[in-house]
Amino acid sequence: MICPPNMHRWLAVAGAVCAVALAPSPAAKTLKIATVSPDGSSWMKTLRRAGDDLDAATAGRLTLRFYPGGTMGDDASVLKRIRVGQLHGGLVLTTTFANIYPDVQVYNLPMVFRNLEEVDAVREAMDPVLMSGFRDHGFLALGLSEVGMAYPMGTRRARSVADARKLKVWAPQGDAAAVRMLRAFSITPIQMPIGEVLTGLSTGLIDTVASPPVATLPLLWHTRLKFVLDLPLMYVYGTLVVSERALRGVQSEDVAALEQIVGGAMAETDRQNRADHDAARQVLADQGLAFIDLTPPELADWRKNAAVARADWVDKGVISVGIHDAIVTRLAEIRADL
C-alpha cells in the first residue's frame, strides 16, 4: 500500500490529539478547612467569598469546604485532625503550633509591644520570615491575621502585679503561651475551655480574663466584667494553614491561585480586624466597663516582670535566640525614631 504524501505526519498529529483528548483531567481537590470562628463572622464571610473565587479561578479543580464554629473541635483538635489527614487545613491561633513551630509565637512574647504601631512595623519585617518557617514544618501558611491585644479584664479592680496575683485568672485550656505568660508574673491561671468562661465569671470560679476586646464582645463576657486594665499584655493572632501533604498532585498554578486568593482574603481580615479591635474597645467603654490607667511605677513593675519572662522564654528555648534578637533589634530601631 502506498501512503499519500505526508500521511505519516498527519497520523502522528492525529494520534497526539487523541492522546490529549483521552488523557484524564487533573482530579478535583476539595480542601477541608476547620476553625472555631463562628459562621457569619466577618472572617468566615471573607473566606467564603475567597472560596468562591478560588473555585472560579481553577474551574472547580480546587475548592474549599469550611467547618466553622468549632464543629471539628478546638484549635488543638483541628491540628490533630490535620496531622492524621481528617482535615487539610485550619484557621487557628498561632499558639496552636507551640510544639511544632515554636518561633511562630514570637509576637506572643509578654508585653513585647507597647502599641499597635509597633506591631505593624515589626510585622512588616517579620511576617515573611514566619510564613516561610511554616514550609519547613510541612505547612503552607496563607497569611497571619490579627485578633488584637489581650488586656486584663475582670470583675475586681486590680492595678499592680501584686494585686493581679490575688485574682482568679482564666487561661484557655491547652494554650501553653497564655499559661506561660501568666506564670511569668507569678499568676497561677485557672484553665478551662473557652465555652465555660461565661459561666465561670457568673459563678465566681474565675474573676479575670486576658482577652482582646473583639473576642470579649461576641462571647458576651463583657456582661459580667467591670474593669479593663489598659495594659496590652500579649498580641494575639491567627493563621490559616494547609498541610503541604494535602496539596500533593494539585497543579502548581492552582496552588498559586490558592496563595493569591486566600492569602488576599487573610490580608483583608487582618485589616478589618484592626478596625474591629479599635471599635470593640470603644464598645466596652460604652457598655460601662471602666478602663484603668497605670501610674508610671506600676507600669514599670509590669514591664520589669515581662522582661524577665521574655528572657526566660529564650533561655528555655521557647523562642529561638535568632528570632528573638530580630524582633528586639527592629523594636529598638522603631523606638529610636520616636
Q: Which three cell numbers stand for residue 240?
A: 490559616
CA proximity to 150, closest of 281, 309, 270, 35: 281
The two beta strands, 139-154 and 208-211, are: antiparallel
d(CA 78, CA 242): 11
d(CA 330, CA 213): 27
Query: What is residue 1's predicted lDDT score, i.e. its pLDDT?
Result: 39
d(CA 306, CA 79): 29
d(CA 306, CA 180): 11
CB 181 within 8 A of CB 306: no
Query: What is residue 26's predicted lDDT score, i.e. its pLDDT?
Result: 56
CB 92 within 8 A of CB 238: yes
The two beta strands, 29-35 and 62-67, are: parallel
CB 262 within 8 A of CB 50: yes
What are the start-end ranges of the H helices in 41-160? 42-57, 75-83, 116-136
Q: Give the SS3 label for residue 329.
A: helix
CB 181 within 8 A of CB 234: yes
Query: What is residue 42's predicted lDDT score, i.e. its pLDDT?
Result: 85
pLDDT (tens digit, 9 = 90+) per residue, 42-70? 889 999 999 999 999 999 999 999 999 99
Query: What is residue 139's predicted lDDT score, i.e. its pLDDT?
Result: 97
d(CA 214, CA 45): 16
Q: Which residue has cell 490558592?
A: 258
Task: Read off φ and ψ for residue 180, nearest 5 degrees.
Answer: -60, -40
Query: What is residue 23's predicted lDDT score, i.e. its pLDDT?
Result: 42
pLDDT (tens digit, 9 = 90+) per residue, 233-277? 999 999 999 999 999 999 999 999 999 999 999 999 999 998 898
Which residues in the chain come in under a pLDDT of 70? 1-26, 338
CB 131 within 8 A of CB 141: yes
CA proximity to 284, closest of 197, 236, 207, 219: 219
Report how far apart, in Å, the C-alpha atoms of 154 and of each of 226, 229, 299 are: 6, 8, 18
pTM, rounded to two decimals: 0.85
